[in-house]
Structure 1
């Protein structure tokens, strides 16, 4: 067996071990949470339950839905809780193949993107859900008694979590584009009108057909883009200043 094949197989073995460790971490957290799967779903459903009329409950139309939906929610919660371990395993696998400057940039990006994604989910849960559900409850005719299906509610919640989590990743994407030199900061500034239009188009496609949820997604996306541009300008300026100082030291010597 050649050295290349041995190296390739060793990488596959390490990848397998890292994946198993990540999956084991999620499984352990899942098993610990499983006895309280119903409570975990109740916590997820709390924003909706607060807006329903008194005495109204959510419904389950499937035979096994009351079991599988809380299990799915618990698995999602276990993955979020175990996310630091999962990301560490991913980082430990790719870090040895990176240059020193790539490791310095990669770790903050991984940590920052994780924190921002979780912040997006938290913003969606604590602010967006309550606002949207209250708006829908007030807009609904008085002759209707809402009784949402738990499976449809889970699908809606997952879509919104992913949408807002990815929205909060906008600064990371902007900084990465500027840091790698793919797009200059001036071009990012010039693209602002297109980004605003694109944000509202994306919000109209992803969110429910109401103005409130569309604004709650589009406006943070625009603000986060501006924050990314500001940070990118600072980073690029520091890099240019550092380069100029290095040139001056070389010329002086």
Structure 2
């Protein structure tokens, strides 16, 4: 009997530390699970997601836009991006040629994606002197706070969307030189910009650049600053 009791005591002496270690391990696992479940989930803002779409569409090289990471909570620390405080909304995009050390390695090319409309608080877009192709997405007219739009010195083509005319805060527009064609919509703020905003687009026509569009009804037969009576017998804009 004494041997049995002694054996149990020795056995209990060995198992108690093991049981304690198991209890501590279980407690630590439970605490870790609790911390993981209660930790806030960090997700990129909608503005950041829209900018990643731009990066993908522009085929930008990793050497230049490595700071544009989907793991970030917002894009305010990304190169070429400035945000407003405290709401952390993207307000301007700077991505023109002077920012790039080597054009053949870091140029932006591809279309301007319609997803740019998701950056609804944008005030300025600088995408000059790249290799952007395609047309201007009509969705850009939804950026109601936009004051500056510079898409000059690219390979853009097609017609200029009338939706730009609805950008009532737009104060600076530069679409030259590109390969735009057709009539410049004389609507909204588009009718307030001079020919310098469109120079270098040889296939454009319309009132802002005082170039008649073939087959367009209602275009003045003479320049607005000329006298119709005194211009009789002189050359005029043909329709």
Q: Same fold (TM over 0.5)?
A: no
Question: Which is bigger in relative contact order (C-alpha 8 A, separation at least 6)?
Answer: 1
TM (normalized to structure 2)? 0.25
TM (normalized to structure 1)? 0.24
